[in-house]
Amino acid sequence: MQFTNTVLGLAAVAVTSAAAPAPVTATSSPFQVKVGADGLTYTPSNIIAEVGTQIEFNFFPKNHTVTQSNFKDPCQPLSSGGFFSGFVPTQPGNTGNTFTITVTDKKPIWFYCSQTTGTHCQAGMVGSINAAQTGNATLDAFILLAKNAPPSTFPQGGPKGGVLKIASGNGNLSTTTAGPPPASITTSAILSTYTSDGKPYTTTVGSSTVPVGTGGNPSPTGSTPITPNAASGTTANMALVGAVLFGAMAFM
């Protein structure tokens, strides 16, 4: 991959100008990373992990994402593939909202918060897994590139590339999104099958299934594009789940 002279120059300066934390080795699986617990940061943000390690991102207030990018475009999602937690609005005192990915190789993984209210990425809310600790392509360099990056964007559609679990009301909502966003989601308890992009998926879910409405992207007004199953009797809970999964960017 070739970088422009500007990118290389910023990266070289970053070695001495930025202040990335020391690397932390993932000694457990899942290995927990706090999202927004200590301000606009991931804790830890400089991670070393073996292949097969699960990285579990735990969300804190107010509204953050975990979005995969590449080194030279810190605040932009990958053009294809990658992971995206979606926007996860989290109230004070709420715990249990997690997004889990699995490390599949030793290549560097770069990620950022795509919340534009407060320009989280540009403010330093970025992180890496298995980044080089010396040279130009370090987390230090990534932080400086993010500081000078254009406005952040996020992927189209809902969460992908990992497992999102939302603590809400009577229990957890678990959506497996290793590929395209599912055509439906469910609450917890029974085994259910759904089809997404022509492929069948099976997951452990609740007593009812609700379809995901069209759109599916976070909006400044906090739309909730989920239509509850009329027979489920869980309209209020599903509306809350929709707000959490596809929630308002303006929450923070």
Give how far Cα 59 sits from Cα of 13, 66, 70, 152, 165, Å.
32, 9, 22, 19, 10
pLDDT digits (tens, 9 = 90+) for 200-241: 544 433 333 333 333 333 333 232 332 223 333 333 333 333
126 or 180: whose pLDDT is higher?
Answer: 126
* Cα 194 versus chain centre, distance: 23
Q: Please say if the pLDDT value at position 193 is more than 60.
A: no
Give the tens place of pLDDT for each residue, 85-143. 999 999 888 778 999 999 999 999 999 999 999 999 999 999 999 999 999 999 999 99
How far, in Å, CA of 90 to CA of 88, rounded? 6
- pLDDT score recorded for residue 68: 98
Cβ atoms of residues 240 and 171 within 8 Å: no
What is the rounded average pLDDT of the residues 190-209? 42
Q: Which long-range contacts link 235-244 to residues 24+ away (Cβ below 8 Å)?
A: 237/168, 237/169, 237/170, 237/187, 238/210, 240/168, 240/169, 241/166, 241/168, 241/173, 241/185, 241/187, 243/89, 244/88, 244/89, 244/97, 244/166, 244/168, 244/173
Mean pLDDT of the chain: 72
Q: What is the pLDDT of residue 244?
A: 36
Where do the domains of the chain lie, and which CATH numbers do they carry? 5-147 (2.60.40.420), 180-251 (no CATH)
pLDDT for res 199: 55
What does the pLDDT read at residue 86? Answer: 96
pLDDT of res. 75 = 97
Distance between CA atoms of 18 and 11, rounded to whole angstroms?
A: 10
Residue 26 has pLDDT above 70, yes or no: yes
What's the pLDDT at 168?
A: 61
Give the per-residue pLDDT at 219.
31
pTM of the model: 0.65
Q: Is the pLDDT of residue 187 over 50?
A: no
